[in-house]
A and B are shown apart, each in its own frame.
Chain A
Amino acid sequence: MSNKIYIKMLSEDALAYIKKNTNTIYKYIVENEDNSWISELGIQNFFVAKKYEIEDFKLLDNPDDKDKSIALKNSIDLYEAINTLPRFILTDEKFWLWLYLDKFYAEVKSMMKIQSVSTIKDHWMFGQGIRRGLFFGVLSRCYFRVELTIDDKRDDKYELTKWIIDNPERFRNLTWRSYSSETHLVRGIVSAEKRAVETLGSEDTSVYPEVAKYVSSIGSVRLLDVISEKDIEDMVYNWMVSEKQGRQ
């Protein structure tokens, strides 16, 4: 039986309050197992319901995000629940803060230890800008790991997603670059990395920042967007193999 819910977002006033009182919010989050403290802030309409509906869903508890199989399941469940929302909602700080401060408050607190106010600024809020906020966010990064690697051409369309969740270094360095907005480029690069690791029989994670730089250097005079997924995969694979041989 379908169980649809309306999504919510923080109001603009609530977002302004959080941004100007982050240290206070950090203390509330650390000291409270539930989010009942929000109603005591005195902000009218902290969360605002929107006209968009999704199927209700749950996330499994995954302390410190340690269990990779639970991390994969949660990422896929999150993606499948919300991927039909408009893009301007999916990339809005106020949407993710609703998930963090309300719907999945307990799960998010468990997934990432709150070490200091920086955890809230950088991993709950978009403290370093929109792009970094989305790729650093506790749950938003889970969503985009799926969105940018899902591949209907494979028998298991989440094969690449599983591969990058097993070791996020395989994906993290790509996300700082603007070309990672092109899903075919991300799939091609991640496919190359996976093929190279399988062919070479070993993995050195220090190569992944260099892969991102290599692709940027390709794009210095070439138009990356028109390079096919297969071509970028072959370029990156050949480079990784020659780099490995050069290092030996």
Chain B
Amino acid sequence: MQVKRKVFPYPILNSNVNLSNYHTASFKLEYTFFDDEDNNRFVFKDIRYDCDSSLINEKCDNGELAVACIVECSNTIFRVTKILTRQPGTDLVLYKNDLSGRVDISIFAYSKIDTVLSNSVEFEEDYRGIDFEIDQYDILAADDGINFPVYHEEKQDNLAKSIFSINPVEDMKENNYEVHRKLHKIDIDMSKEIHQLYTKIYMSPTFKEAFFSMLLVPALIQALSECKEEFADGSDINDIEDSYVWFKSITLNYKRITGKDLTIEDFKQMSMVQLAQMLLGSPIKQSFESIRSTSYTKGEMADEQ
């Protein structure tokens, strides 16, 4: 849940200064994050709110207001609430099995009773000189907080299997294939006729590298090039991994092959043609040799001189 640009009929203290109706005060979510992989959970240690508004803090201390942390994962119909204080000592634990896709964590100060929000020097000019009637449960401060994605992917040892999905598509008649970057896979779409030919040859050891060279390398070049263009400004590798789950396999395999992490600087500078070939085992030489040896067998190629 987020308030974003919602307009309230009384002054609201928003962590986004452009949307706050308080002159200078701040209100924000604080925590120390720990990814507890052993127990398959996220821990937000010492989760609390930080606020420097005397008005809001006084009302929280005397029990008129409380601060609630709302965790929402829309994809899993998951929503929980936790009451926070300004003190460390409270942990928020989220089990990864409850989450999939985007997770939002926000905090809100809300009124526990019907009350009055009296004129305060903390308010912006437009709200000065007015006492506001506040109903029980009205939101008085908000921080839209953070969001992060959670994915559940089973590890595949084979890069090609883990990042490509090769599909026949009804109504597709052309002799070309199409490449589309999706969240989990790079889709390679083709007509049913071509897909039937593909299913006959892709398992053949003789033609495996030829198949990689003709189909997978160009598809990966396109997908990586589009990523390079999409994330040209101010991004890092994590942004690409968060946007495309298959990109994690790219970075893992890059590290396996080169022994170093793929940085955004390296990614932006290197040739996608070179990167794609490297990741798919540089198949061009072997594919030419396979075709040559098949051609020799048929007597189609002259002997080497």
Please report A residues at the B interface, Cβ cutoff 8 Å: 12-13, 16-17, 20-24, 42, 86-88, 90-92, 130-131, 134, 144, 178, 180-182, 220-227
Candidates A87, A91, A92, A226; contact of B81 at CB < 8 Å: A226
Interface string of B112-141 (1 = CB under 8 A from A): 000000000000000000000001111100
| A181 contacts B100, C-beta separation under 8 Å | no
* Centre residue among A12, A20, A223, A226 by max chain B CB count within 10 A: A223
B169, CB-defined interface residue at 8 Å:
yes
Name which of B55-63, B184-192, B292-300 contacts chain A.
Answer: B184-192
Main secondary structure of the interface of B (DSSP, over half): mixed
| B66 contacts A226, C-beta separation under 8 Å | yes
Also in contact, A221 and B72, with CB within 8 A (given A87-B97, A182-B79): no
| A88 contacts B108, C-beta separation under 8 Å | no
* B192, chain A: closest CB distance, angstroms: 8
| B78 contacts A181, C-beta separation under 8 Å | yes
* B36, chain A: closest CB distance, angstroms: 16
Closest 9 CB pairs of A and B: A86-B97, A181-B79, A222-B137, A88-B100, A223-B110, A16-B165, A87-B76, A20-B169, A87-B98
| B72 contacts A181, C-beta separation under 8 Å | yes
| B77 contacts A144, C-beta separation under 8 Å | yes
User: Using Cβ atoms and an 8 Å threshold, which residues of chain B touch A91?
Assistant: 75-77, 100
B70, CB-defined interface residue at 8 Å:
yes
B74, CB-defined interface residue at 8 Å:
yes
| A16 contacts B137, C-beta separation under 8 Å | no
Candidates B74, B138, B170; contact of A222 at CB < 8 Å: B138
| A12 contacts B138, C-beta separation under 8 Å | no
- Give the CA-CA distance A88 to B98 in the complex, in Å: 6
Sample 8 A-B pairs with CB under 8 A, ordered by A number: A16-B187, A21-B168, A86-B98, A130-B75, A181-B78, A221-B139, A223-B70, A227-B137
* A90, chain B: closest CB distance, angstroms: 8
B260, CB-defined interface residue at 8 Å:
no
User: Using Cβ atoms and an 8 Å threshold, which residues of chain B touch A24?
Assistant: 170
Main secondary structure of the interface of A (DSSP, over half): helix
Also in contact, A226 and B110, with CB within 8 A (given A88-B97, A221-B8): yes
User: Using Cβ atoms and an 8 Å threshold, which residues of chain A touch B187?
Assistant: 16, 20
Interface string of B249-290 (1 = CB under 8 A from A): 000000000000000000000000000000000000000000
Interface string of B1-20 (1 = CB under 8 A from A): 10000101100000000000
User: Using Cβ atoms and an 8 Å threshold, which residues of chain B touch A182?
Assistant: 79, 81
User: Using Cβ atoms and an 8 Å threshold, which residues of chain A touch B169?
Assistant: 20-21
Interface string of B136-171 (1 = CB under 8 A from A): 111100000000001010000000000001111111
| A178 contacts B170, C-beta separation under 8 Å | no
Also in contact, A17 and B79, with CB within 8 A (given A131-B74, A227-B137): no
| A21 contacts B170, C-beta separation under 8 Å | yes
* A92, chain B: closest CB distance, angstroms: 7
User: Using Cβ atoms and an 8 Å threshold, which residues of chain A touch B79?
Assistant: 178, 181-182, 225
B68, CB-defined interface residue at 8 Å:
yes
B199, CB-defined interface residue at 8 Å:
yes
| A88 contacts B99, C-beta separation under 8 Å | yes
| B97 contacts A178, C-beta separation under 8 Å | no
User: Using Cβ atoms and an 8 Å threshold, which residues of chain A touch B75?
Assistant: 91, 130-131
- Give the CA-CA distance A181 to B81 in the complex, in Å: 12
* A163, chain B: closest CB distance, angstroms: 20
User: Using Cβ atoms and an 8 Å threshold, which residues of chain A touch B185?
Assistant: 12, 16
Candidates A42, A180, A220, A224; contact of B199 at CB < 8 Å: A42
* B59, chain A: closest CB distance, angstroms: 15
